[in-house]
Structure 1
Amino acid sequence: MEQDLTIARTLLPELVRTAGKDFQRQHTLRLDEDGRISVQYAPFDHVTRSARLVVVGITPGLAQAVNAVNAAVAARDAGLPLEEVLEKAKMTASFSGGATRKNLVAMLDAIGVARHFGLTTTANLFRPGSRDVHFTSALRYPVFVDGRNYNGSPDMLKTPMLRRMVETWLAEEARLLPNALWLPLGPKAQSAVMHLVRLGLLRDAQVLAGMPHPSGANAERVAIFLGRKRPEEASRQTSPAPLLEAFARLSKQVSTIKGDRA
């Protein structure tokens, strides 16, 4: 299956170096809007076709969008072909190291994903130059509500414009990567990925649902999931039972998955 890059081909010439709110004011990049919600084009089109793991967030934020646009402009002006421009833009803006990466690797290793892929650790999936991981978003292009980064409200599946984005672009990525493991980061991204399961584009068994978001701000939930903190030591804000259930369920799920192990 070939990816549809019509939007990228049309709008790449419109990209100019940008910063912050200037990006949101570029009406030539406006893909859609409805009341308080607007969708702006930024070059997040690239799909890593060899990926064995797909990591799904909600939508690119403003800072990511600006980084992607500026990287694309530099690559375009250097004369690179479209697909290389898109790849450089996506790699520049994709989530990188720090506490989030460490937490993600620890949780994937703990539930057996490294073993499933025949690795000593899933950190190897994220090595420089790796094409084993595809980073994407439930809503591929940046979404803003009242000019602020979309945080999952209003519900994307109950908002026609946003639901179309899931059923168009995220669905395209599911068709391009039908055999990868899909890891939604948090409940909002998970609802979009599970929508694709209901549409028959992904199998329930290949979706790693229920893992806590790996951000540093979520440290307590990650620690309980990993068994680094006892359930009885959890704060009032954290319910240990769902985390322990998710760990047991995901460990069992990964151990029974058939398919790519090397």
Structure 2
Amino acid sequence: MEPKLQSFIPVIQSSNLAKPLKKQDLLTTSFLIDHDRDNELTMYYSPHNEYINHHAKIVIIGITPGWTQMKAAFEQVIDCLPISESSTIEQTLKKAKIAASFSGAMRKNLIDMLDHCGIQNVFHIKSSSYLFSENRDFLHTTSIIKYPVFYQGRNYTGHRPKINHSSLLTSYAYEMFPKELSQIKAPALVIPLGKMVEEVLKNLIKNNKLNDHIYLFNFPHPSGANGHRIKQFTENKQSFISTVLEWAALFSYNT
């Protein structure tokens, strides 16, 4: 299927976007994909989640891209202009994915937890931080709701409204997302970030809509705003290590 970026390139070029991008540059009708007026939700295009690393061994899943990720992805696309050939579009989508992945304190928190689970030992690397740089081919980051969603103009967090209270959110989480995950060869280690993401995954597993991946449930969201992050991780650390070792045995067998 042709990436949506193909159709948005003329819009991006004609909009004369300049860095640093602001919300008024991107949260416009030009990039609006869909909306749910009853729940005050708007969904906008962002290029980074169009790239799928089919050979990933680890999949980290958030609920939906936020403004920061959207901004980083578009700024990367601007740096790649002009874009014409399909191969260049694929390369641009990959660069946008890398640029928009977890950054700042959230990435540091995530790497710390991955290292304490022993992820780096599986790949024989010094730190899980390398998964975000030279060992990026092992990693796929994504969201259960593919494109950025905003509630009353603010990042959607999964709480208001609940996913199953919106047909827009439900269609992406329960129809589009499992199709994406099915494109990644099992067994990958799948890490859902946050209770809302975990709830969706468990429902999909219950209904036999996901491949036989290994799931690291109860993993804390790495956001600094998650005050229970350290306690939750500590309480589940031994379970995480056991799950990683279980996955590692399968990973080694299949490589």
Is the shorter-chain TM-score for this pair beyond 0.5, marking a shared fold? yes
Match of 2:184 in 1: 177
Taking a change above 3 Å as real, the CA distance of residues 63 and 125 of structure 1, as seen in their structure-2 partners, is closer
Instruction: Give the Å deviation of 1:181.
Output: 1.0
Q: Percent identity?
A: 30
Matched residue type, 1:107 = M
1:251 to 241, 244, 253: 241
1:11 to 8, 13, 18: 8
TM-score normalised to structure 2 length: 0.81
Runs of 4+ more than 6 Å apart: none
Judge which range, 72-81 or 35-44, deviates more.
72-81
**Unaligned runs of at least 5 residues, structure 2:** none
Match of 1:92 in 2: 99
Taking a change above 3 Å as real, the CA distance of residues 64 and 173 of structure 1, as seen in their structure-2 partners, is same
Q: Distance in 2 between matches of 1:67 and 1:12?
A: 16
1:40 to 36, 41, 44: 44
SS of equivalent residue, structure 1 residue 31: strand
Matched residue type, 1:10 = S
**Unaligned runs of at least 5 residues, structure 1:** 227-243
Match of 2:71 in 1: 66
SS of equivalent residue, structure 2 residue 47: coil
Alignment of 1:134-145 (within 5 A): 134-145=140-151
- Confirm or deny: 8 A CA contact 1:174 1:201 kept in the other structure: no
Match of 1:232 in 2: none
Deviation string for 1:168-214 (max 9, x for gaps)? 43223211114221111111222233333234243576111101112
SS of equivalent residue, structure 2 residue 136: coil
1:207 to 212, 215, 218: 215
Taking a change above 3 Å as real, the CA distance of residues 86 and 187 of structure 1, as seen in their structure-2 partners, is same
Match of 1:28 in 2: 30
SS of equivalent residue, structure 1 residue 48: coil
Matched, 1:52 2:57: yes
TM-score normalised to structure 1 length: 0.79
Alignment of 1:115-130 (within 5 A): 115-119=121-125, 121-128=127-134, 130=136
- Confirm or deny: 8 A CA contact 1:178 1:202 kept in the other structure: no
Match of 1:231 in 2: none
The root-mean-square deviation of aligned C-alpha atoms, in Å, is 2.5
- Confirm or deny: 8 A CA contact 1:54 1:182 kept in the other structure: yes
Taking a change above 3 Å as real, the CA distance of residues 32 and 93 of structure 1, as seen in their structure-2 partners, is same
SS of equivalent residue, structure 1 residue 59: coil
Q: Distance in 1 between matches of 2:102 and 2:232?
A: 24
Q: Distance in 2 between matches of 1:105 and 1:220?
A: 17
